Structure 1
Amino acid sequence: MRERLPAVYMVANKRNGTIYTGVTSNLVQRVWQHREGLGGFSKRHDCNTLVWFEIHGTMETAIAREKQIKAGSRAKKLALIEAENPLWRDLWPDILNGSE
């Protein structure tokens, strides 16, 4: 995976725990920042495990998708994660190794 691609992502502190939803143009760098505890919400809530992400062709579509997800219920966020990552595995190694 190229480093600079618009993406929407969710990081969590544990399975079914606190979830942070964000958008970025550099997923690897942004998730690294979460893992290092840089940032407000994710640092306060220890959200440092990448549990879901979606790559987009443009930043505009990524931002629109982030807004859609944030406007949805917690149940919808959990369903997105569970559909792609039912074990809530940390996807950090996947984005480092280039798989999606």
Structure 2
Amino acid sequence: MAHFVYILASRPGGALYTGRTCDLRNRVAAHRAGFSEHTSRYKIDRLVWFEEHEDFATSLQRERSLKRWNRDWKIALITQSNPTWQDITAQIPS
């Protein structure tokens, strides 16, 4: 089963949220529906980066690592693969 680590943003350079899930499409939909207090409060609903992992342990380790990163490193990670900070929900594998 695939596991995903992802970053949502409110806008380019805006508020960020880092998370992990095994169902990325539904998790993004839940954020957009306001089920997460933090993402709802700061209007964080744009999927700007994600990566797929083969197992739970690897995804958990990566999520914890990213959460310790400073903001500039996260912005660089996003900008490297998505320089215009477009929503990439359509790129989620089926």
Task: Provide TM-score, normalisation by structure 1.
Answer: 0.89
Q: What are the superposed Cα offsets for residues 16-61 of structure 1, whole Å, 9 maximum, x if unpaired?
A: 0000000111111101111212111101111100000010010110
Matched, 1:92 2:81: no
- 2:18 maps to 1:21: yes
Length, aligned pairs only: 94
Q: Which amino acid aligns with 1:68?
A: S
Q: Quick one: percent identity of the two aligned structures?
A: 38
Runs of at least 4 residues off by over 4 Å: none
Could you tell me which amino acid in structure 1 is paired with residue 56 of structure 2? M
Equivalent residue for 1:34, pick from 13, 28, 31: 31
Q: Deviations along 1:67-97, whole A, 9 cap, x unmatched?
A: 10010110110011001100001011222xx
Q: Tell whether 2:64 aligns with 1:67.
A: yes
SS in 2 for 1:37: coil
User: Is residue 73 of structure 2 the alignment partner of residue 49 of structure 1?
Assistant: no
Instruction: In structure 1, list runs of 5 or more residues that go unmatched.
Output: none
Q: Which residue of 1 aligns with 2:79?
A: 82
Aligned-residue Cα RMSD (Å) equals 1.2
CA distance, structure 2, for counterparts of residue 45 and residue 36 of structure 1: 13
Normalization by structure 2: what TM-score? 0.94
Amino acid at match of 1:34: H
Distance 1:66 1:41 in 2: 17
